[in-house]
Chain A
């Protein structure tokens, strides 16, 4: 079966030019913090001693680290911030594509996270988005639209890669009733 996300060879020039280009580099609002690590572990009753026992963390990971699945946590903006009028969304490229193709609905069909260097308390992380592909028009049971694949890369203050999230989105317009 052909890959439904394979890139269309007849995309609008602006969209085609954005494939593979780094966009929306964002720095986290605050350094990675131990208190939030404990809050996250408590929310799922995660007793892994890496996150609770400094001696174990020192022995195994060379000091405290954050649970890998917390990667995206460090980029969600505060609920409110003084003077803020706009914000770049963590998946802004997804919303740009919905607008570019005038597709009012969208779902994420696949989410993969790859974990690289550990994230540590005090790290100041940054993220950037890279569009990997946009399909030609497709019709599914949801409606007619396009699939796209977006990578969100996460790096630390030394520009070391700490993780990559890959999202497959399907932007679509519902079939007329």
Chain B
């Protein structure tokens, strides 16, 4: 299999840059597939009757680990495969339901190089529905500083996430 492996370099990024938006029509399948892929068997993520009549929510809703997977996909779509996640911080504000059109957007907050020489971009990524933020995620992702740099090769004291 041949796959594009182009990756974004640190020098190509600056504070204020925006990431391309990702829009996705969420269905019941999206929610259920995501929950089961995360081994989350709790009924509010696959059982409409339980979600509505026991939890009091409008429908089944996307679980947190699956949202994390969406954020990861969104960020590494932008970085390319050499981009290596160092840290993610989530602030949950609302739920995502079947029928929602979710939109992920992101902004570069800061670009830096740490004491070990690793390049970092700090991002604020937002998952929103109809302009209403459901989850904010602060992401620290390592980017190669040169064409022959590979953040994934860092271990121990050379990896400071």
Contacts and interface: CB of A to CB of B under 8 A. Distances in A.
Nearest to B7: A60
Contact of A56 (B5, B33, B159): B5
Given A46-B73, A113-B89, A114-B86, 10 more contacts: A42-B33, A44-B69, A46-B69, A47-B3, A47-B77, A52-B1, A60-B5, A67-B72, A112-B89, A114-B161
B155 interface: yes
Given A69-B88, A117-B155, A46 B1 contact: no
Identify whether the interface residues of B are mostly helix, strand, loop, or mixed. mixed
A49 B3 CA distance: 6
B115 to A, nearest CB: 17
Interface of A: 36, 39-50, 52-53, 55-56, 59-62, 67-70, 72-73, 76, 79, 108, 110-118
B68 interface: yes
Contacts of B69: 40-41, 43-44, 46, 67, 69-70
A111 B90 contact: yes
A115 B76 contact: no
B35 to A, nearest CB: 9
B73 A44 contact: yes
Interface in B66-98: 66, 68-73, 76-77, 81-82, 84-92
